[in-house]
Amino acid sequence: MRQLLIGLLLISFAVTVQAGGDKPGSVVEVKIKNHKFEPQTITVKRGTTVRWINEEKRQYHSVWFEQAGDEEPDYFFPEESTDKTFNKPGKYPYRCGPHEKMKGMVIVE
C-alpha cells in the first residue's frame, strides 16, 4: 500500500511539473501535429525547459534555432521528443528544418 501511495505522489508531482510553465525549472510541452507547432508561440520564465513532442503519424521534424546561428539539429520521429532549456530572457524564433513553413517562437521573461 505504501509503494502505491508513493507511486501516486510521484505521478502527481510529475504532472504538476509538466503543467507549470510559470516557474523556473519547469517543463512545458509543444506538440507537433498536422505540420504545426502547438502552441506556435509560448512565453516562459528563465530556466524553463521546453519539450517538443512529435505527434505526427509518419513525419519527422526538427526544432532549429537557425537565427541564433545554431546548426540544423537531427530530426526526430513520431513519438520522439527534443528538449531545450532557456536561461536568458529574449525572443527565440525557430523553425522545422525540413519544413520551412513550420515556425514557432519561445519568449523568455
List beta partners, residue 81.
53
Question: 11 pLDDT exceeds 50?
Answer: no
Range of the domain at 48: 2-108
pLDDT, residue 9, reads: 39
CATH at 15: 2.60.40.420
Rounded to two decimals, the pTM is: 0.78
Domains of the chain: total: 1
Contact 43, 107 (CB under 8 A): yes
Question: Once rounded to an integer, what is the mean pLDDT over residues 1-16?
Answer: 40
Q: Where are the alpha helices (DSSP H) in 1-109?
A: 2-19
- 92: enclosing H helix or E strand: strand 90-95
Tell me the per-residue pLDDT of 15-57, one tens digit each, with 9 for 90 and over: 333 334 556 689 999 999 999 999 999 999 999 999 999 999 9
Return the C-alpha cell found at 61.
521534424
